Structure 1
Amino acid sequence: MFQTLAYYVTLFHRSFVTYTTARLHQVGLSFGSLFPILYVGKHPGCSQAQLTAALNLDWGHSQRLITKLVEEGFLTREKSGRSYHLDLSPKGQETFEVSHQVFFDWDAEVLASLSPAEQQQLLNLLAKVTRKEVDPTCTKPSKAL
């Protein structure tokens, strides 16, 4: 088959979406709601405008998504002046922890055939080609879920 980066990225994406969707379904969350939960979990008290800009969503989609997450009990939304501040509810916090862990669980499965040194080399090369620094705040959660 093709030996291009795009081909392998497509395989990884499909695998990640399938794996993540199955795990999130267990806590009542859709894949489309994953990144808003992660963003609010990392940025408690953020505004809808901040979330919308950070995730590159259009305003209408963002509004519908936030309303759905509030109605389903994942987020709380409090009015402060002319804007709303978003926080995770207790249910949202639990879901955030599962959502955060799923990245590390998928990595462990996908990278199992590589040595720790090879895993680090792969991550360093991917960071280099995407021109991103490795984010030290994106570390494995302290407790196993």
Structure 2
Amino acid sequence: MDDKSHQAIKDSSPFVAWIHNISLNQQKYMKAKFNELDLGHDVRYIMYIYDNPDCSQEDLVNMFSQSKGNIAKVLKKMEDEGFIKRDVNPENRRKYMLYTTEKGNELVPKYRELSKKWEEEVGITDKDAELKKRLKEIAIRGMNLIEE
């Protein structure tokens, strides 16, 4: 590794800065490989909806710690681009249930395959299962802290 080109990565850098750097670089990689799509971090919403059919806008607000307005704007864009659809919740007509469309359903496996390739290229392996578990625990604790 060329130390001059990666001067921002220091042992003294905050841990969260490393996580942010990893996330941004993964998104840049994905965008370069999926250059026909300009989804950036918004693809996480499609992934969540794909994995959680019938979820609501409120579920996304809680999961991603985003404002209702921001989530609404992103969902409108995703709907306009044909990745998701919204159906009125028959139990609460003021809420919508979210689903991926055929286009969204085709995107998710391709995205996951490419994401797995990125992980392999940067050195994330099955040996990192404990690290992944620990990071998930930290993420959950962080979410719980802001709910208190």
TM-score, structure 1 length as denominator? 0.72
Q: Which of the residues 3, 17, 21 maps onto 2:11?
A: 3
- 3-state SS in 2 of match to 1:25: coil
The structure-2 alpha-carbon separation of the partners of 1:132 and 1:19, relative to structure 1 and needing over 3 Å to count, comes to same
- How far apart, CA to CA, are the structure 1 residues paired with 2:69 and 2:136? 31
Structure 1 position 10, deviation (Å): 5.3
In angstroms, what is the RMSD of aligned CA positions? 2.5
Q: Does 1:15 align with 2:21?
A: no
Q: Does 1:30 align with 2:43?
A: no
User: Residues 95-110 of structure 1: matches in 2 within 5 Å?
Assistant: 95-110=107-122
Structure 1 position 62, deviation (Å): 0.5
- Tell whether the 8 Å contact from 1:40 to 1:86 is kept in structure 2 after alignment: yes
Segments of 5+ residues of structure 1 without an aligned counterpart are 134-145
Identity of aligned residues (%): 20
Paired residue type of 1:66: L
The structure-2 alpha-carbon separation of the partners of 1:20 and 1:79, relative to structure 1 and needing over 3 Å to count, comes to same
The structure-2 alpha-carbon separation of the partners of 1:22 and 1:132, relative to structure 1 and needing over 3 Å to count, comes to same
Which residue of 2 is the match for residue 43 of structure 1? Answer: 52
Number of aligned residue pairs: give it: 125
The structure-2 alpha-carbon separation of the partners of 1:125 and 1:73, relative to structure 1 and needing over 3 Å to count, comes to closer
- Tell whether the 8 Å contact from 2:27 to 2:41 is kept in structure 1 after alignment: no
Structure 1 position 105, deviation (Å): 1.1
The structure-2 alpha-carbon separation of the partners of 1:62 and 1:11, relative to structure 1 and needing over 3 Å to count, comes to closer
